[in-house]
Amino acid sequence: MKRRLPYIALLVILIAVEVVIALTQHDNILRYYGGDTIVVWAVYCLFQSISGGKNNHYAVHVGVMLFAFLVEFLQLIHFVDLIGLGDIQFFRTLIGTSFAVEDLAAYAIGTAAGCLGTLIYSRAAVRRK
């Protein structure tokens, strides 16, 4: 549990930031791209909090990005409608309904920032020892 706590705390903070962005930002770059950049960090923290943070951090970052890409491509084929959940707003929001190449770039930028953060943190941890 001790290794999971930082990921859980960061996940809660990131979800709060996402909610604030969703509620206060309309039709601007932060709403469209900031949220997509941050969501890969939130999914990373979710995965690490479940797994206990024992995985290769870079592999998890890349895996989360590939998952985000998959979800984005599912939007391209209108997956939520294909599986019969298109009339339920929750699933339209969760899965999404519109593909955008810019979202893929935001996921990649979020992943790169996450990997950079991991690198900086791991080097700082080595210096503390």
CB 73 within 8 A of CB 35: no
> How far is the C-alpha of 17 from the C-alpha of 39, rounded, in Å?
10
What residue has token string 């790169």?
A: 112
Position 53 scores a pLDDT of 83
CA nearest neighbour of 98 among 64, 72, 67? 72
pLDDT in tens, 24-80: 988 888 888 999 999 999 999 999 999 988 889 999 999 999 999 999 999 999 999
Please give the structure tokens belonging to residue 29: 């770059």
In whole angstroms, what is the distance from residue 123 CA to residue 24 CA?
Answer: 36
**Mean of pLDDT over the chain:** 92
Question: What's the pLDDT score for residue 1?
Answer: 67
pLDDT digits (tens, 9 = 90+) for 76-111: 999 999 999 999 999 998 888 889 999 999 999 999
Provide the residue ranges of all domains of the chain, joining segments of one domain with +: 5-128
CB 49 within 8 A of CB 7: yes
